[in-house]
Amino acid sequence: MTDENFMREALRIAQNAEGRTSPNPLVGAVIVRDGKIIAEGWHRQAGTPHAEIHALNMAGELAKGATLYVTLEPCSHFGRTPPCARAIVDAGIKKVVAAMKDPNPKVAGRGLEILRSAGVEVEVGLLENEARKLNEIFIKWVTKNLPFVTLKFACSLDGKIATVGGESQWISGEESRKFTHHLRDINDAILVGVGTIWADNPSLTTRLLEGKNPIRVIVDSNARTPIDSKVVNDKSARTIVAVTENAPPENISELKNRGVEIICAGNGERVDLKILMRELAEREITSVLVEGGGTIHFSMLKENLVDKVLAFIAPKIIGGKNALTAVAGAGFEKLSDAINLKNLTTQKLDEDILISGYVTEV
């Protein structure tokens, strides 16, 4: 096997904890001796041992003189756990191959310097693009102090998310709906506008057997979220309602009394979405799945807050000039202002087509 094979294995096992390590990155580590993998490890959850520690514990005395392949620079600081760089040195690892430097300013090359200073051979950059893709959420959060935002919608072939009569269940097929619950499972939070709560009274939870429910974020300028709604009463997940300073105090009090967290984001007529995203990032919410209606979709795009778009296209034609569309709002007046997605991929889910793309290059 080659260096690339070993690093691909490290990248593969890192994904075992997808959606479980926030606010930490996904990391995989492989220890190789005499051309064979003798130990593996991945980071499982924030506050628990890092990938390198799991691999070192598995290798034991065999780690001495071996090579460690790791998807991210070993940490150098005391956080929730001790620094991995020092543990690697103490274990007698001869060489470390890291896919990329840690973008976290607390690390920023210091882990690699500890290794080099102790005489460990270090290489950086093997499969870096793949490693950056693996941790696109962590990189955005730790460098921009903003969550990574995925905009998801399901629509007909002609872009409708409901009929003219308001019927929307189900435009997409069963496989698409399963994928949606997977997205809820791996994202820290799900965001919708209050109109979605009034119209559908959704739970905004995941239906997966061992799924993790996302934090529910409701954009609700005037704190109109119904007190009897599922997101307020079911206690299935933490609920945050984002309001403005002009929201009626009595509405806010009623929501707080039922355990809802309130974020005040701006003093205008509408919630300032940029302020809201910064507030979510401060709460260590690193990823947000936007799954609302056309108005909130356009607002997020217009404010340049969306990183990735997932569009589930069903082979249906609904029609109707007044039928709701996936992206509504005022719209962009010029084609030159339109959002052009990059790095497109397509995937077939039964009869549906999933189109994925990035708003900015990754």
Q: Which residues are catalytic?
A: 52
- Alpha-carbon distance of 242 to 264, in angstroms, equals 6
Q: What is the CA radius of gyration of the chain?
A: 23
Amino acid 308 reads K
Helix (H, G, I), strand (E, B) or coil at 189: strand
Closest C-alpha to 69, from 11, 16, 136: 11
Query: What is the chain's percent helix, strand, coil content, to nearest 5?
Result: 30, 20, 45
Is residue 144 within 8 A of residue 22, CB to CB? The reply is: no
Please state, in angstroms and rounded to a whole number, the distance separating the CA atoms of residues 128 and 7.
Answer: 10
**Residue 71 and residue 15 in contact, taking contact as beta carbons nearer than 8 Å:** no
Token pair of 63, please? 């780690």
Closest of 332, 341, 336 to residue 360, by C-alpha: 341
Strand order in the sheet with 121-124: 36-42, 28-33, 67-70, 95-98, 121-124
The type of residue at 18 is E
The number of residues making up the chain comes to: 362
261 forms bridges with which residues in the sheet?
240
